[in-house]
Chains A and B, each alone.
Chain A
Amino acid sequence: MITLVEAPQSSEPPATRTRTRERSAAWKRRAPLLPALLFTIAVTQVPFLVTVFYSFQSWNMVRPGSQHFVGFDNYVDVFTDSVFLQALGNTVTLTVVCVFVAMLLGLGLALLLDRKFLGRGIVRTLLITPFLILPAAGALLWKTTMFDPSYGLLNWAFGIEVEWLSDYPLAAVMAQIVWQWTPFMMLLILAGLQAQSREVLEAAQVDGAGRWRTFVSITLPQLSRYLQLAVLLGAIYIVNSFDAIYLMTQGGPGTASTNLPYYIYQRAFEGFDVGQSSAMGVVVVAMTLIVATFALRLMFRAFDVSRGVK
């Protein structure tokens, strides 16, 4: 799936005895890694394989004994299910918009913080706080104290009367997620800004480059690695958004704000349809893998993984 950096192979030793010794040495080196590896396989990979198995079964949890093999029927159902397609669309919209908006806001805040001023440490601490609020608590607070049509702060502050959660459910959920994730983007971009060399920036100013010119020609290119990373990591977390939808809109009204995690949850725990929800899970993983193959490459470049591999 990924192009990996191969470690140089050691030349084959002539005698068998040294070979056995080398092999046992190799196992000794591997030993500290194995528990973690086996644990991760057991906890994350095995359940997924079981999901694949379930996806070929027709099985409703409330009807014991209903389990039987149905081949690809569940997959056919999934792709002809209009709610699934809508949830897919919502997931893409939610992920793309939230990542993009949070990144832009994060960039703005990071630029504001990238200078010395009175109370900078306090401002930074304030700005990261939304990220540290329990997401479930954040979602409930936004639903009530911010978005409530009668007593919410938003309608009061703007002097309007909008039913945020029923008229703009997806936008409302996205606003909450953006609020939660902007601090993370800000911290990441701030780290990028502070990794710039001061000399280069000063040299540019001595050469008569204005602020904007310096930002576009020097800062932005240097920042691109951090921006890529921000997009990638933000997407990994935001694509799985569940708390905000579960607590704020329950996917509604109707299915207007249902995303894939929430829809799969509904099919499994409210519809008790093991087969179909498993098939959806497999489809989601397949799509994620396609995106991830591309993303992992980027990631390996950003992480500079070859460092320390001897």
Chain B
Amino acid sequence: MTARTNRLGRGALTGFTWLVALLFVFPVIWMVVTSFKHEVDAATDPPTFAFTPTLEQFTTILDRGFLPYLANSAFVTVLSTALVLLLGVPAAYALSLAPVKQTSNALGFFLSTKMLPIVAAIIPLYIISQNLGLLDNVWALIVLYAGMNLPLAVWMMRSFFLEVPTEMIEAARVDGAKLPTVLYRVILPVVAPGIAATALICVIFSWTEFFYAVNLTAAQAGTVPVFLVGFITSEGLFWAQLSAAALLASLPVMIVGWIAQNHLVRGLSMGAVK
């Protein structure tokens, strides 16, 4: 094989890769394009590629009361993530740097909760929420999302804690540093990026969660996925509006995900893949 055909081959492969990527992501590109259309250009045969862009759909979405849903999503996401970190950081510490005797049991337990199908618990959760007056209340979602994300977070943060060199901790101890100092000065700087990555992953999962949100909330505490459900009946007529809503609903998570893309796998695999 000559160097020239080799280079040609490589160029072709790069072109092919780009083509595949663009095709694969096309439904997303089409969503963005459609969101700037007038409704008359949105559902046409053949599809319309040239059109006068408009922001009309976005203002319509806001008029339809999108903001309260967005606010609910933000509130639930931030607070449930904070709760996960509050409970998860000490747990991850106890399972890595100062391991308790039953470490494997505890880790196995956290992992096994991820394998319980969530449908199996929805009926009691609904009835308990009803009895506590927590139906259509953001606090029910905050607690449930924290429970959903905690196992993931503990596993993931544990894998970050394990990367703290034990020599560093011992050296600080020898120098007479007390536990709070060691935690703050030695361990925190090493694990802080990991904790941030874990938080971003919890944000993604809380933001996109659908099952609990649809079954336990409605107009008061509904999150953005619940707002989107409103389009299920108006399908075919409001594609541009749907695209605009889908874009607004997804944008925060898309940005967070792009930032955290190097950590996504680590989070989803509960820290198994570095």
Interchain CB contact under 8 A, A277 and B243 = no
- Kindly state whether residue B51 has any CB partner on chain A within 8 Å: no
Docked Cα-Cα span, A78 to B31, in Å, equals 41
Q: Which of B17, B224, B272 contacts A134 (CB 8 A)?
A: B224
Which residues in A have their C-beta under 8 angstroms from that of B147? 39-40, 43-44
Interchain CB contact under 8 A, B228 and A136 = yes
Q: Mark A277-289, 1 if CB is under 8 A from B, else 0.
A: 1100110110011
Known: A7-B103, A281-B123, A308-B158. A36 touches B150 (CB 8 A): yes
Docked Cα-Cα span, A5 to B99, in Å, equals 13
Docked Cα-Cα span, A179 to B26, in Å, equals 11
Known: A43-B147, A140-B246, A281-B121. A145 touches B27 (CB 8 A): yes
Known: A188-B265, A281-B121. A229 touches B27 (CB 8 A): no
Docked Cα-Cα span, A82 to B20, in Å, equals 42
User: Considering only CB atoms, which chain A residue lies closest to B272 in the complex?
Assistant: A303
Which residues in A have their C-beta under 8 angstroms from that of B143? 43
Docked Cα-Cα span, A159 to B273, in Å, equals 43
Known: A127-B21, A191-B274, A299-B111. A134 touches B121 (CB 8 A): no
Docked Cα-Cα span, A243 to B226, in Å, equals 11
**A294 smallest CB distance to B (angstroms):** 11
Interchain CB contact under 8 A, B104 and A4 = yes
Q: Which of A134, A156, A305, A307 contacts B246 (CB 8 A)?
A: A134
Docked Cα-Cα span, A132 to B215, in Å, equals 23
User: Considering only CB atoms, which chain B residue lies closest to A151 in the complex?
Assistant: B43
- Kindly state whether residue B101 has any CB partner on chain A within 8 Å: yes
**A31 smallest CB distance to B (angstroms):** 8
Q: Which of B59-67, B87-95, B167-175 is near enough to bind chain A?
A: B87-95
- Kindly state whether residue A102 has any CB partner on chain B within 8 Å: no
Interchain CB contact under 8 A, A156 and B273 = no
Docked Cα-Cα span, A40 to B65, in Å, equals 35
Which residues in A have their C-beta under 8 angstroms from that of B17? 112-113, 117, 123
Query: How many of chain A's residues touch chain B, expressed as a range?
Result: 35 or more
- Kindly state whether residue B196 has any CB partner on chain A within 8 Å: no
Q: Mark A190-233, 1 if CB is under 8 A from B, else 0.
A: 01100100000000000000000000000000000010010001
Q: Mark B11-46, 1 if CB is under 8 A from A, else 0.
A: 001101110111011111011001000000001111
Q: Which of B116, B124, B272 contacts A302 (CB 8 A)?
A: B272
Docked Cα-Cα span, A238 to B147, in Å, equals 19
**A277 smallest CB distance to B (angstroms):** 6
Chain A, 135-156, CB within 8 A of any chain B CB: 135-138, 140-146, 148, 150-151, 153, 156
Interchain CB contact under 8 A, A124 and B88 = no
Q: Which of B14, B95, B239 contacts A33 (CB 8 A)?
A: B95
Interchain CB contact under 8 A, B120 and A48 = yes
Docked Cα-Cα span, A138 to B34, in Å, equals 14
Interface SS of chain B: helix, strand, loop or mixed? helix
Known: A39-B150, A130-B27, A135-B210. A50 touches B124 (CB 8 A): yes
Q: Mark B232-274, 1 if CB is under 8 A from A, else 0.
A: 1001100100110111011001100110010011001111111
Known: A40-B151, A156-B47, A306-B104. A7 touches B99 (CB 8 A): yes
Interface SS of chain A: helix, strand, loop or mixed? helix
Query: How many of chain B's residues touch chain A, expressed as a range?
Result: 35 or more
Interchain CB contact under 8 A, B253 and A288 = no
Which residues in B have their C-beta under 8 angstroms from that of A36? 87-88, 90-91, 150, 154
Docked Cα-Cα span, A78 to B243, in Å, equals 40
Chain A, 296-310, CB within 8 A of any chain B CB: 296, 299-300, 302-303, 305-310
Which residues in B have their C-beta under 8 angstroms from that of A4? 104-105, 108
Which residues in B have their C-beta under 8 angstroms from that of A281? 117, 119-123
Docked Cα-Cα span, A32 to B154, in Å, equals 12
Which residues in A have their C-beta under 8 angstroms from that of B105? 4
**A170 smallest CB distance to B (angstroms):** 19
Docked Cα-Cα span, A45 to B125, in Å, equals 11
Which residues in A have their C-beta under 8 angstroms from that of B253? 132, 134
- Kindly state whether residue A2 has any CB partner on chain B within 8 Å: yes
- Kindly state whether residue B146 has any CB partner on chain A within 8 Å: yes
Q: Which of B99, B124, B215, B270 contacts A303 (CB 8 A)?
A: B270
- Kindly state whether residue A37 has any CB partner on chain B within 8 Å: yes
Which residues in B have their C-beta under 8 angstroms from that of A300? 108
- Kindly state whether residue B192 has any CB partner on chain A within 8 Å: no
Docked Cα-Cα span, A215 to B95, in Å, equals 38
Docked Cα-Cα span, A195 to B119, in Å, equals 37
- Kindly state whether residue A58 has any CB partner on chain B within 8 Å: no
Docked Cα-Cα span, A107 to B119, in Å, equals 31
Docked Cα-Cα span, A36 to B128, in Å, equals 21
Q: Which of A126, A133, A226, A265 contacts B24 (CB 8 A)?
A: A126
- Kindly state whether residue B10 has any CB partner on chain A within 8 Å: yes
Which residues in A have their C-beta under 8 angstroms from that of B144? 43
18 contacts between A and B (CB under 8 A): A33-B91, A35-B91, A36-B90, A37-B91, A39-B150, A43-B146, A48-B124, A117-B14, A128-B258, A134-B228, A146-B27, A151-B43, A156-B45, A229-B273, A243-B210, A281-B117, A284-B119, A310-B99
Shortest Cβ-Cβ A-B pairs, 5 listed: A43-B147, A32-B90, A137-B246, A36-B91, A50-B124
- Kindly list 7 other residue pairs between chains A and B, CB separation below 8 angstroms, not including A40-B151, A303-B270: A37-B91, A40-B110, A125-B258, A269-B126, A281-B122, A303-B272, A309-B103
